[in-house]
Amino acid sequence: MTRERDSSGAASSETGSPCADGRAPASGSTTGSHLHSDANSNSGIAGPPWSLDVATIQAQLKVGPGGLSSAEAQLRLRTDGPNQLRSREATPAWRIVLSRFKSPIVGLLGLAAGVSYAFGEWLDGTAVASVLIVNAAIGFVVELRAQRSMEALRRLTVTQTRVHRDGQELAVPSAELVRGDVVVGEAGDVINADLRIIEASRLEVDESLLTGESVPVAKSASSVPPEATIDSRTSMLFSGTAITRGSMTAIVVGTGSGTELGRIGALVESAEGEVTPLELRLQRLGTRVIYITVLIAILPVVLGLLRGEPLLRLVKTGLALAVAAIPEGLPVVATIALARGMWQLSRRSVLVRRLSAVESLGSVNTIFTDKTGTLTENRMTVRELWLADRVVKLVDGTAVEDGRARLALEIGLLCNNATIDSEGTALGDPLEVALVRAAAGHGLSSEALEKERPRDHEIAFDAVRRRMATVHEQTADAEGRKGHAYWIAVKGAPESVLEASSSFESSDGPVPLTADSRAEWLERNTQLASTGARVLAVAYREADNSGDHAQQAIDHELILVALVALSDPPRTGVADAVSECQRAGIRVVMLTGDQAATARAIGLATGVIDDPEARVVEGRELGGESDADSSSTAEVAIFARVDPEQKLRLIAQHQARGAVVAMTGDGVNDAPALRKADIGVAMGQRGTEVAREASDVVLEDDSFASIVAAIRGGRIIFRNIRRFVFYLLSCNLSEVTLVCGALALGSKLPLLPIQILFLNLVTDVFPALALAFGQGDGSTMDRPPRPKTEAILTRRLWFAVGGYGLTLAASVLAAFLFAEHSLHYDDAGAVTVSFLTLGFAQLWHVYNLRSPHEPFFGSDLAQNRWLGGALLLCTGLLLVANLFAPLAHVLGLTSIGREGWLTVFGFSIVPCVVGDVVRAIRRR
């Protein structure tokens, strides 16, 4: 259980007494009814823990009232090992090496090497095989680093659980839970070990992971028979399940592989790696290229045979075409681009949990965001108390003179689950922490108050009541008078508490609420909320009975004491982030459980709306409308007092209108909406484990600006992938076109197969890899979102691939013919000129990838240090290929002199010049 507690509490406590609602085996379960293993096999408990009473289990596990000691917990951790399931092992290096040779592209290259050997072309065959091995080695290194990076990303989030140790409540890593630990949890927490319930308060748990039963299961502390199947063990909480309602205290009876989940187990171990839609499209693209390659390679051979040309020449031609068409670097660069992009996002406090989210991030055009903690700082401070006839400004250290103000602070402190330790570290929901700090600043402590009024149990906050309560035993006064048996402290939404109140606390005691006085309290609430304050109402009442009577008692005859105004200012930079979204064509929609006036004030402060009269829709106005085509709320930017079901419906309506929705959430009830959204964004600090498990992205800092950073990162990653695909295909097309053009003119081959392989190794891998490291530019968020279904290469880009491929081929062919006919070079000299011209032309071609409005020196390509380094490296390799005699001999190159080099550089810049002309035309 990992999240900080919110303002919800728990309901009536059950502590081992017989349960009246013992649950029968789920009729819809297909799995649970067959599961009946002994969860205590390694727990040190004599008998099934679900059938034993709590006291027996505590005695057998030697657990005291304050939980285990830290020393005992460490001893048990060393004995039992960490609380971890056996996860899927990292892919061994030899499997990665093997996978590099399973690619169809590699198979085609292997076939080319085999054909060369079959015709006695040992040099060409060995060269093809060598390039094949080098390419596979580069791919291996890149993929190994990418996989290790992904594994490290998965280790970044450490799950924590709240336990009692040494008499204190602590948050410890879930991997350090041991048998006997006393765990506390509430709605939204995920169970991280097998637990026997000690106390339960309106507790319901989602056990669908184990039983297949989608309906939450009611739980209690009551024992069940030893033969109970897993779906009938209502006194147990199992690892991997999630609390959907209420709260509990429980004791750990099984960890790691000793849990039910550990025994069912193959879940994590057998999980297959995710293949994203983007990777599938790249795989399909590579397959299509192979089919086209085979056709291109075979057709000239068949036509040549019909014309009676020598078979060896035709085979060399087909081999050259096949090698030229294959984009060897395509699979490698896609992997590193995704992994690199995810690492960059993690440095911005954005953890991407699913690779497929990377692709969708760049398409988001609507963000549904929470208010508290996302647009605001979530650092609340109690600003003032509004009593019936006066306003009390709170100043720490100044005594509160009005008894009603002190009573309001006492209610806020008693109806509270937050704690602050001796060092000032807070554990709990920020709203509750603010109430604790306000009370402490005026000399109040929960320990002293609970001595006077010991807590009996809690009544949890829920979306219907919109209030929380704690029930306390009354102690006798100095004269021995006790009055009613129980005293109930209540806090919640002002309109909800006011509705359940029959009177308010005046300076002379409780006074009945009239229609006019109700209206006055509501007006005060609206006045406070319009300043952007978070407003809470506090009330109390007395009762004679606990249990069900107390739960009913908080629905009527409450005595309203005060309105509590809490300040929660907008986060620094949020207004700029909202403005950046709007500039990028992204709508920002606020969904909040707060009231409309508060939401409007924060919306104006953050730029979500700019009109003070803009429409704010409350949840009650949405009613039960489910028509996905409804346009009544299409342009609304703020929704207040919305519940989880309404969030789900709003997402569906916007998606039906073509929106790609990113949704933020933190509570257990947000999980369905997070799954429904195209991108579910969970809060890392205040979010529940359930919300995080349902999300695609986790924000470690809970900041709206990080959502914008994630979208910007998603756009950059997709643009980088699009760029290197464009670059690889246009370069390979230029080689195919060059060979076909020479055949059409009846000329000799301007490139040898081994030379094409060398160029592909140089120009396909290193510049393309460097493109994957692009950081984007200032215009990344100035463009509208791309459609989610948009292909990697649009029709316009395919035409551009063809145009640049033809331009590159024409310039190289012209250089080849110029060297042959004007410079009168022999075959080796002319081929050397065409080889170097194509090599340098492809390197300069990288700068054709900048957008029409980007100047050369101001583009992100010019600022990409990796790209600059790759071009320097490739330039050096081309020079070595020509000047280093042994390598030049293998490649069939020769010295070309000053005229030859001038020809190379003159013709190699032609495609760049043509690209600049095209961009100038497009700018106009």
Backbone phi and psi for residue 250, each to the nearest 5 degrees, phi listed first: -150, 165
pLDDT confidence of residue 675: 86
In angstroms, rounded to a whole number, what is the distance separating the alpha carbons of residues 334 and 858?
A: 26
pLDDT-based confidence at 27, cuts 50/70/90?
A: very low
Percent of the chain whose pLDDT exceeds 70 = 78
Lowest mean pLDDT among 290-304, 416-430, 733-747: 290-304
Does residue 17 register a pLDDT over 50?
no
Does residue 818 register a pLDDT over 90?
yes
Mean pLDDT, all residues of the chain: 80
49-87 pLDDT per residue, tens: 999 999 999 999 999 878 899 999 999 999 888 887 655
As to burial, measured by CB atoms within 10 angstroms (0-12 exposed, 13-18 middle, 19+ buried), residue 223 is buried
Lowest mean pLDDT among 200-204, 234-238, 294-298: 294-298
pLDDT-based confidence at 831, cuts 50/70/90?
A: very high
pLDDT-based confidence at 642, cuts 50/70/90?
A: confident
846-863 pLDDT per residue, tens: 999 887 777 776 678 888
Residues with active-site annotation: 370
User: Residue holding tokens 């379960």?
Assistant: 29
pLDDT-based confidence at 547, cuts 50/70/90?
A: low
Does residue 11 register a pLDDT over 70?
no
For residue 811, what is the enclosing H or E element?
Answer: helix 795-821
Angle between helices 122-154 and 93-100 (to 10 degrees): 130
The whole model's pTM is what?
A: 0.69
Lowest mean pLDDT among 322-331, 427-436, 751-760: 322-331
212-227 pLDDT per residue, tens: 555 678 898 989 998 8
Structural contact between residues 461 and 467, judged by C-beta atoms closer than 8 angstroms: yes
How large is the average pLDDT for residues 903-910?
A: 95
Q: Which long-range contacts (CB under 8 A, 24 or more apart) does 895-900 make?
A: 895/832, 896/819, 896/825, 896/829, 896/832, 896/833, 896/836, 899/823, 900/819, 900/823, 900/825, 900/829, 900/832, 900/833
Does residue 435 register a pLDDT over 90?
yes
How do beta strands 467-473 and 455-459 pair?
antiparallel
Alpha helices in 238-393 (DSSP H): 260-264, 266-269, 277-306, 311-325, 330-347, 356-361
Does residue 32 register a pLDDT over 50?
no
Q: What's the number of CA atoms in the CB half-sphere (13 Å) around residue 905?
A: 7
Lowest mean pLDDT among 315-329, 669-683, 778-792, 820-834: 315-329
How large is the average pLDDT for residues 863-885?
A: 92
pLDDT confidence of residue 138: 62
pLDDT confidence of residue 9: 36
User: Residue holding tokens 């406590």?
Assistant: 13
pLDDT confidence of residue 37: 41
Q: Say which residues have a Cβ less than 8 Å from residue 291's Cβ, sequence separation at least 6.
A: none
How large is the average pLDDT for residues 908-915?
A: 93
pLDDT confidence of residue 181: 94
Percent of the chain whose pLDDT exceeds 90 = 28
pLDDT confidence of residue 270: 39
pLDDT confidence of residue 840: 95
Does residue 153 register a pLDDT over 70?
no
pLDDT confidence of residue 769: 82
pLDDT confidence of residue 23: 33
- Ranked by mean pLDDT, the top range of 74-78, 241-245, 343-347 is 74-78
pLDDT confidence of residue 874: 93
- List, in sequence order, every residue forming a beta bridge with 162; answer none if it has no partner: 171, 184
Does residue 265 register a pLDDT over 70?
no
Lowest mean pLDDT among 623-627, 756-760, 879-883: 623-627
